[in-house]
Amino acid sequence: MRTKLLCGLIAATLALPVLADKPAFSVNGTAVPQARVDAMLQQLQQQGQTDSPQLRAMVRDQLVLTEILRQEAQKKSLDKSAEYKSEIDAFSARLLANLFVRDWMRAHPVSEAQLRGEYDKVVAQFSRKEYRARHVLVDNEADAQKILADLQKGKAFAAIAKEVSKDTGSKDKGGELDWAPADSYVAEFSTALTKLSRGQVAAAPVKTQFGWHVIQLIDVRDAQGPSFDELKPQLAQRIQGAQLDAYLGKLKQQAKVE
């Protein structure tokens, strides 16, 4: 396991750019720049690691090991091999491509108007109703009809639910269910619920796979979507990603590939 981890970290270290900077330390007289240490720390933090003395010690250890192995490879002239040159060429192409993409994205920031427009599209998807209902669940229609009769005599809905409802999740709350869109319920329940007015009890019991329900609609409201500030980072990423895809597609169309 340790060997696998070391190999992964070494590979990541080799992929880091060589930057001119003050040395962080030296290995056999060869300086390792501080910028390389900082780049590896940043890379690990982007992967979810937390900056700590332990992490910094691990980074130093891996960079020392990488430099030792690099020097050993040079002693064997591996840096002059065809395999090395081929991999360097491939890495250079990927690096330059990534640098170009980053430069393009910096030069094409997403405007506030674009963000607002995309947000409006998202909010439109939340233009549906949420319902707050309560119900009493029993095993058979006869019991459900008795509940309806008791309600007509003035008995409180919540009291009945606490006494007889088979729904353990809502029974102690007087049969009350949380705010939810109609389609979060089974079809029969949903159909009956959406036909009710605020405060109205369904005239007939509703049968579902769970049993028989007596349903009352407490209230209805427009669904609340996420705020602009909550979605702003994702919206910016989505818009810029789409713009980049379009630009790259255009470049591919213009390129002469034989």
Neighbours of 32 (CB within 10 A): 20
pLDDT(10) > 50: no
C-alpha to C-alpha distances, 191 to 148, 164, 170, 218, 249, nearest whole angstrom: 19, 24, 20, 16, 46
Q: What's the length of the chain? A: 258
pLDDT(21) > 70: no
pLDDT(232) > 80: yes
Mean pLDDT of 52-63: 94
Residues 123-176: pLDDT tens digits?
877 767 899 999 999 999 999 999 999 999 999 999 999 999 999 999 999 999
Q: What is the pLDDT of residue 123?
A: 81
Residue spans of the domains in the chain: they are 2-75, 129-222
CA distance 173 to 160: 11
Q: What is the mean pLDDT of the chain?
A: 90
pTM: 0.53
Q: What is the rounded end-to-end Cα distance, in angstroms, of the chain?
A: 45
Q: Provide the percentage of residues in the chain whose pLDDT is more than 90.
A: 81
**DSSP of 62-103:** HHHHHHHHHHHHHHTTGGGSHHHHHHHHHHHHHHHHHHHHHH
| Domain spanning 129-222: CATH 3.10.50.40 | yes
Residue 217: CB partners within 8 Å, gap ≥ 6? 131, 132, 133, 193, 196, 197, 198, 199, 200
Residues 191-209: pLDDT tens digits?
999 999 999 999 999 999 9
C-alpha to C-alpha distances, 106 to 15, 103, 147, 210, 215, nearest whole angstrom: 23, 5, 66, 56, 56
